[in-house]
Structure 1
Amino acid sequence: MSVIVEFTLSTEEFVFGSALETVEEMAIELEAIVPTGNRVVPYFWATGTDFDGFERHVLSDPDIESITRLDRIDETALYRAEWARNVDGLLDGLAETEAVVLEAMTMQNGWNFRVRFPNHDLLGQFYNFCTERAISIHVERVYTLAEASRAGRIFDLTPEQREAIVLAVQNGYYSVPRETTLSEIADEVGISQQAASKLVRRGAEKVLQGALLNPGERF
């Protein structure tokens, strides 16, 4: 039975996350990790304004061989990155244990992950991988799909997305005219405006899909 784990870790504990940390305050969301040969190639979304400065900063990291902008929609861009050498870190542990990253994004002072493992044995293998390499992860929640709440099964919201959406609704973000802003929501949650925008947008998209589309029509 598959099991879902929600955990956090500091940016310093996440080698790839450290390489992406910039003064441009870009909000980063991991899209996928793809094993290719003896490497793990990460795909990620970056939300912000100074993409050129962000790319120069990332390429200045000795562990990054290349970064490719694949697409851009307004203030969000999809990237692929490749390592200059093998880095035995968190992404390798996820790839080795057949984990599927459901959510992974920058938050205040670190990263939040929501990951699905095929079974408890592989989850244990991932935990041992992190322990052996002194990667300090802080497990917030472990549950199976059957144990998820009804709202979680329908909408598949992360706790962060739900908090942002609830605040947006309660404070009048969807009212006409609007009674609050993304900046005010971000301040209340304690995250950047870009991260709040991502949470509200993705959360609203999941709620609408769950409410309006049949399971086979969702994406």
Structure 2
Amino acid sequence: MTTVVELEIPADRLGLARTFDHVSAFEFRIGGMIGGAPPLVWTGGPDRTTVRQALEADPSIDVIASVADDGDAAVDETGAGPTDQWLFRLEFGDGVKLFEQLVTENDGAILSARGDDHRWILKLLFHDRESVSACHDLLEQYEFGADVRRISGVNDLATARTPLTETQYETICKAHEQGYFDVPREITLKELAAELGISHQALSERLRRSHAALVSAELSERSAPMEIDP
């Protein structure tokens, strides 16, 4: 079944980490990244000059072109009018090229990529769950630090019930069953980690992400697709 995967990867593994360090509120957005040509990248920040200078000084990329002149205002994708974003054509380095290779070799495609707060968020399309698992294993092997935010079948969106991944859901259920959320607690974090066969640190991070996903879903007031870890 065709599967859409949303991943979060640190910028220092893919690129633009130096730009994030030097430009407050820097963000970017890319459409599809399939093909050999350097992609067009919408960028945002305090002003165009600051963003351009930071990009030009970033060793993880090459600025191929600034698509509009400095005095031109960008127009958003709907044609609605000027925005505070600027368009560049960027050549990314080895991190992105290796990532693209791993996705493509597993019959995947990069639908979109965006970034803020020193991270990339990518949406990938795969033909089946086996390809998802194979690609995820390789991303771990090459230490991309990929965090699976969401996995859904294209036809599953209407029936989704929870924003949690399967692993997060199972962890929350286990924690509840063992009395971790009781007052006072009936099991410590260390003891729960031993029950699950993972490290204290891994469990702490998993619970934090689970709580964040649940709070975000509650506040958004909209349903989210069920996520299943590869």
Quickly say closer, same or farther: Cα 1:53–1:97, change in 2 above 3 A: farther
Residue identity matched to 1:46: T
Quickly say closer, same or farther: Cα 1:120–1:6, change in 2 above 3 A: same
Q: Which residue of 2 aligns with 1:68?
A: 65
How many Å apart are 1:34 and its aligned residue? Answer: 3.4
2:122 maps to 1:120:
no
Q: Which residue of 1 aligns with 2:26?
A: 26
Q: How many residues are treated as equivalent by the alignment?
A: 155
Write the distance in 2 (CA, Å) between the matches of 1:103 and 1:58: 20
SS at match of 1:52: helix
Contact 1:27/1:46 (<8 A) preserved = yes
Unaligned runs of at least 5 residues, structure 2? 69-73, 76-82, 161-212, 222-230
How many Å apart are 1:133 and its aligned residue? Answer: 1.0
Determine which structure has the larger strand proportion and give its number: 1
Q: Which residue of 2 aligns with 1:44?
A: 41
Shift >4 Å, 4+ stretches? 85-88
1:135 to 132, 140, 144: 144
Q: Percent identity?
A: 15
Computing the radius of gyration from Cα coordinates, the structure with the larger value is 2
Contact 2:106/2:135 (<8 A) preserved = yes
How many Å apart are 1:109 and its aligned residue? Answer: 4.8
SS at match of 1:135: coil
Write the distance in 1 (CA, Å) between the matches of 2:6 and 2:118: 16
Contact 2:33/2:111 (<8 A) preserved = no
Residue identity matched to 1:131: E
2:54 maps to 1:54:
no
Q: Which residue of 1 aligns with 2:183?
A: none
Give the TM-score normalised by structure 1. 0.56
Q: Which residue of 1 aligns with 2:6?
A: 6
- How far does the alpha carbon of each residue in 1:108-151 deviate from its partner, in whole angstroms, 9 at most, with x for none? 45232232222223323321331221111111222211211269
Quickly say closer, same or farther: Cα 1:44–1:65, change in 2 above 3 A: closer
Unaligned runs of at least 5 residues, structure 1? 152-158, 168-219
Q: Which residue of 2 aligns with 1:16?
A: 15
